[in-house]
Amino acid sequence: MAQIANQPILNLDGFDDTVTIASLELLRNGDTYLSRVRTEEGAEGIAVANDARLRELYPIFVRRIAPFFIGKDAKQLESLLVELYRHSSNYKLQGIALWAPQAAAEMAILDLLGKLTNRSLGNLLGGVKRTKIQVYRASSHRGNAPEEEVEYLKQQAALYGASAVKFRLGGRMSNNVDSLPGRSEALIPMVREAFGPEFTLYADSNSSYDVANALRIGRLMEEYDYHFFEEPCPFDHLWETKQVADQLRIPIAGGEQEFSLRRFRWAIAHRVMDVIQPDLHYFGGYLRTLRVARMANAAGLPCTVHMSGSGLGYVDVCHLASCIDDPGPHQEFKGESDIPFQCATSSLRCEDGFVQVPTGAGNGVTIDPDFLREASVVKA
Ligand SMILES: [Mg+2]
C-alpha cells in the first residue's frame, strides 16, 4: 500500500517547459481568501482557499509556504510538497495548521499547470473517469425537532433533485448525549418513512458515541436500511471505531479529521472505516487526498471526499470525484457560493441529482476579474 501511495499522480506528459514560479500570494476580498500563483512569463493559477481556516492561519501561508515556492519549477510540485514538509521543520505543524495553507498553494499551482497544459484538473490528476457526479444534500442542523428536520430534508432533496440525503445524529463530540433527548432514535425511522425504501440515506454523528451506543444507533440504522454511519465514535479513536465497524453490517464512514497519510494507511489496512473521507483542505490538497483515494480503492473501499471549504468547494468535489476510481455513489453538494465566477462548460447546478464536471483547463472556472481586483494581498 505504501507503494501505491507513493506513485506519481501528476500527468504532465508532453509538456517540457520549465514553469518558474515568480509569485505566490494570498488575496482577501471580504471573508473570501484566494491563492494566486504567477510565473515569470505571466501565466496565472487561482484557487479559493478555506476561508474559515485561512482567517487564522494566513501567517503560515505567507511566511512559510509562499516563499518556499518562489523560483521553483511548478512542474516538480509533487517532490516540492515532500520538501516543503521538511523545510523549516514545517512537519511540526502537521494538521490543519499546515495542510489548509498548503492546500491553498497546491490548488493554485495545479490550476496553473492545468491552464498551461490545457488539461482539466481531473486529466492532470490521473484522468477523468466520469463527467457527471451524483450528489447528496447534507443537513447541518442539530437540536431541531425530528418533524422539522424531516420537512427540511424533504425540501432540500426536492430543491436539488437529490437521490440521497445526510443528516446529523447525536450531539457532536458529546459523549453519548443527544442534541435533544430521543431525537436520533426518532429521526432514523421517520426519515426512512418519509423518503421511502429506495432513497439513499446517510447519517453523521460527528464523534458522538462510545462503542455501546454507536452499536445501538448503528443497529437501528441497519434496521431501516441506511447506507453509511459517519464518525460513530470520537474521530481519532481508531480502536473504538474499528470495534464498531467490525460488529455492524452498515458501512462506517470517516476521515475528515485525519491528518496523517500513514494513519490513513493503517486505518484502511485494518478496516477501521468502510468509506474513506479525507478532506481536501484539512488534508493538504488534491495530491495528498488522491493518495488516500488510491490506497482506499486498492483495498476495495470507496473514497468519498469530505469538503470543509465553502466558496468553490463543490467544484473541487466534482474534480476529485471525476478522477477517483471509486468515489462511492454520491458526493456532498454544497452548491452555494458568494464568489462571482463563470464556468463555460457546466452550470455547476444540481440537475436531477447530478452535477456536470467542468471540462475547461485547470479548475475550469473564471473568477470575476473585478472581484480579484478588489481583493488585497494578505501580509503576515
Ligand atoms: Mg462529517
Query: Does the pLDDT value for residue 309 go beyond 90?
Result: no
Q: Does residue 310 register a pLDDT over 90?
A: no
CA distances from 194 to 8, 187, 224, 227 (A): 46, 10, 12, 16
Average pLDDT score over residue span 73-86? 98
Output 171-179 pairs: Cβ under 8 A, ≥24 positions apart. 171/142, 171/208, 172/142, 172/205, 172/206, 172/207, 172/208, 173/206, 173/207, 173/208, 173/234, 174/208, 175/208, 175/210, 176/208, 176/209, 176/210, 176/213, 177/208, 178/208, 179/142, 179/143
- For residue 230, report the distance from its CA to the centre of ligand 1, in Å: 6
Q: 190: CA distance to ligand 1 center in Å? A: 21
Q: How many residues does the chain have?
A: 380
Residues 111-123 pLDDT 10s: 999 999 999 999 9
Q: Do residues 57 and 66 touch, judged by C-beta distance below 8 A?
A: no
Q: Are the beta carbons of 264 and 298 closer than 8 angstroms?
A: no
> If you measure from the C-alpha of residue 344 to the centroid of ligand 1, how many angstroms do you get, rounded to a whole number?
32
Is-contact 60 98, C-beta < 8 A? yes
95 pLDDT above the threshold of 90: yes
- Segments of the chain assigned to CATH 3.30.390.10: 2-118+368-377
The domain defined by 124-367 carries CATH number 3.30.565.10:
no
Q: What is the pLDDT of residues 311-363, one digit of tens each?
A: 899 999 999 999 999 999 999 998 878 899 999 999 999 999 999 999 999 99
How remote is the CA of residue 308 from the centroid of ligand 1, in Å? 9
How far, in Å, from the CA of 163 to the mean position of ligand 1? 19
How many A from CA of 246 to the centre of ligand 1? Answer: 20
The percent of residues in the chain predicted with pLDDT above 70, rounded, is 100
**CA–CA gap between residue 305 and residue 56 (Å, rounded):** 24
- Alpha carbon of 260 to ligand 1 centroid (Å): 17
What is the CA(234)–ligand 1 centre distance, in A? 11
Ligand 1 centre to CA of 204 (Å) is: 6
CA–CA distance from 155 to each of 151, 331, 354 (Å)? 6, 19, 17
What's the pLDDT band for 129 if we cut at 50, 70, 90? Answer: very high
Q: What is the pLDDT of residue 228?
A: 98
Whole-number Å distance, alpha carbon 237 to ligand 1 midpoint, is 15
Type of residue numbered 109: I
The confidence band for 91, taking pLDDT boundaries of 50, 70 and 90, is very high
Residue 193: band (very low, low, confident or very high) from pLDDT cuts 50, 70, 90: very high
152 CA from centroid of ligand 1 (Å):
19
Determine the average pLDDT of the residues in 146-165. Answer: 95
The answer to whether 327 and 303 are in contact (CB under 8 A) is yes
- Rounded to the nearest whole angstrom, what is the distance from the C-alpha of residue 74 to the centroid of ligand 1? 33
**Which residues belong to CATH 3.20.20.120 in the chain?**
124-367
In 3D, which of 106, 102, 109 has the Cα closest to residue 57? 102
What is the whole-number distance in angstroms between the Cα of residue 256 and the centre of ligand 1? 7
Residue 266 alpha carbon to ligand 1 centre in Å: 20
pLDDT for the residue 336:
78
- The backbone region for 70, taken as left when phi is positive above 0, alpha when psi lies in -120 to 50, beta otherwise, is beta
Long-range Cβ pairs for the range 172-177 (8 Å, 24+): 172/142, 172/205, 172/206, 172/207, 172/208, 173/206, 173/207, 173/208, 173/234, 174/208, 175/208, 175/210, 176/208, 176/209, 176/210, 176/213, 177/208
CA dihedral 334, 339, 342, 343 (to 10 degrees): -30
Closest to 223 measured CA to CA, from 249, 254, 245, 194: 249
Ligand 1 center from residue 132 Cα (angstroms): 23
Q: Give the Å distance between the CA of 317 and the centre of ligand 1.
A: 15
Closest CA to 143 of 195, 208, 189: 208
Q: Compute, in angstroms, the gap from residue 32 CA to the centroid of ligand 1.
A: 23
Distance 330 CA to ligand 1 centre (A): 14
CA of 319 to the centre of ligand 1 (A): 20
Superfamily of structural domain 2-118+368-377: Enolase-like, N-terminal domain (3.30.390.10)
Ligand 1 centroid to Cα of residue 207, in Å, is 9
* 194-237 pLDDT tens trace: 999 999 999 999 999 999 999 999 999 999 999 999 999 999 99
CA of 347 to the centre of ligand 1 (A): 27
Q: Which of 174, 185, 191 is nearest to 220 (CA)?
A: 185
